[in-house]
Amino acid sequence: MIAAGLVERSLNHLLRQSPGAAAALARHAGAGVRFDLGLLHYDARIADDGYFSQAVVEVPDATIAPTAALAARLPFAGREAFRFADYHGDPALLATLDRVFRQLEWDVESDLAPWVGNLAAVRLHRLGRGAVAALGDAATALGRNVGEYAVEEAEMMARGVDVERFNRQVDALADDSERLAARLRRLEAKAR
């Protein structure tokens, strides 16, 4: 119950910070939306003002379920990661939800400012963005290093240049085989 209230408040807070988002959802007032998180789900109805209101929804008009691909990309890709969620339901409602979710942007600085002041909020936001970027860079470097180890040291995978050379050799062999088959057909035709 507490988690559902937190989800509702968070979504509505983001809608308030994004001009026009609630107005776009208001066209679908009364529609039921289910955010399916696997073991739990959050059901809501879109209220007349375009904000989400927690409600029991027997058959949702739209269902949004995160995938492993979304969870892996979310810290680094932000809103773009939501392309990897599973969406089911009314196409018009899903298109509106997609449009609205793409425009949602958390104004971290305005939320921090009352607590720490404007200047500190700007600096904390920059620090947080830098930390997330550094984590993304570290994850990219780790992936590159693991890949290099798998190819070069452990020889678990072929190097890209070796794969390309192999593919060229296979293509050349296929061409040679085709030419040989054509030559044999010509020789057979002459022998008759």
Q: Encoding tokens for residue 60? A: 């949702």
* pLDDT one digit per residue (tens) for the chain, 192 residues: 566 677 788 888 889 988 899 999 999 999 999 988 777 888 999 999 999 998 888 999 999 888 777 666 665 566 666 777 888 999 999 999 888 888 887 888 888 888 898 898 889 889 988 887 888 788 888 888 887 887 777 777 777 788 889 899 999 999 999 999 999 999 999 888
Give me the helix-helix angle, 118-148 and 68-77, nearest 10°. 130
Residues 137, 140, 144, 145, CA torsion sign: positive
Contacts of residue 27, defined as CB under 8 A and 6 or more positions apart, other chains included, come to 96
For the whole model, what pTM was predicted?
0.58
Amino acid letter at 99?
Answer: R
Q: Encoding tokens for residue 33? A: 């939306």
Sheet strands side by side (includes 52-54): 52-54, 41-46, 32-36, 62-65, 86-89
Vertex 40: Cα angle to 46 and 106 (nearest 5): 55
Position 133 scores a pLDDT of 82
Q: In angstroms, rounded to a whole number, what is the distance separating the alpha carbons of residues 161 and 79?
A: 35
**Model confidence pLDDT, tens digit, residues 56-95:** 889 999 998 887 776 666 655 666 667 778 889 999 999 9
Position 47 scores a pLDDT of 94
Q: In angstroms, rounded to a whole number, what is the distance separating the alpha carbons of residues 74 and 68?
A: 10
Position 6 scores a pLDDT of 79
Contacts of residue 37, defined as CB under 8 A and 6 or more positions apart, other chains included, come to 65, 66
